[in-house]
């Protein structure tokens, strides 16, 4: 339950942060003629806001993976409470195409690494197609 809540927050966070920065741009643009101190203050605050936005993203991801690890320790899928099966899969975010031990949910087709990171299993089937490794 908490995992799915934080997972949804992580997925929405980037769009919401981008929308907030675009809204601040329009606020600064509107105040350029009316009250020029507002855009100046917003320009000075912007780097700190960007650092805060990135920090918030990392914090949310850390909390999401914390709850995922708790469910994975119980051998349950964090997303759908289904059973997990251990498989050796290619890590899609790894540069050296190393295989990692993943816990795959049969019900929702998600693969979880021990750290709690999740990726859809469709990525695996697309990247490990048989014609890619054919001699
Ligand atoms: Zn599942």
DSSP letters of 22-47?
Answer: HHHHHHHHHHHHH-THHHHHHHHHHH
- Res 10 pLDDT > 60: yes
Compute, in angstroms, the gap from residue 90 CA to the centroid of ligand 1.
19
The 10 Å CB-count burial string (b at 16+, else e) for 1-29 is eebeebbebbeebeeebeeeeeeeeeebe
Compute, in angstroms, the gap from residue 103 CA to the centroid of ligand 1.
10
Neighbours of 53 (CB within 10 A): 17
- Res 118 pLDDT > 70: yes
Cα 129 to Cα 11, 22, 90, 105, 119: the distances in Å are 28, 41, 11, 20, 17
pLDDT of residue 122: 67
Domain ranges of the chain: 2-73, 84-132
pLDDT of residue 87: 87
Compute, in angstroms, the gap from residue 11 CA to the centroid of ligand 1.
17
Compute, in angstroms, the gap from residue 94 CA to the centroid of ligand 1.
23
Compute, in angstroms, the gap from residue 77 CA to the centroid of ligand 1.
5
Confidence label for 90 from pLDDT (cuts 50, 70 and 90): confident
């Amino acid at each position: 339950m908490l995992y799915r809540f934080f997972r949804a927050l992580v997925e929405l966070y980037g769009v919401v942060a981008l929308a907030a920065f675009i809204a601040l741009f329009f606020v600064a643009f509107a105040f350029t003629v009316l009250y020029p101190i507002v855009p100046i203050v917003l320009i000075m605050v912007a780097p700190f806001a960007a650092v805060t936005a990135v920090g918030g993203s990392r914090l949310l991801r850390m909390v999401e993976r914390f709850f995922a690890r708790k469910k994975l320790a119980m051998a349950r899928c964090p997303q759908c409470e289904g059973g997990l099966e251990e498989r050796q899969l290619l890590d899609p975010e790894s540069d050296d195409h190393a295989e990692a031990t993943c816990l795959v949910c049969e019900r929702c087709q998600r693969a979880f690494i021990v750290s709690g990171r999740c990726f859809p299993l469709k990525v695996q089937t697309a990247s490990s197609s048989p014609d890619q490794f054919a001699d």
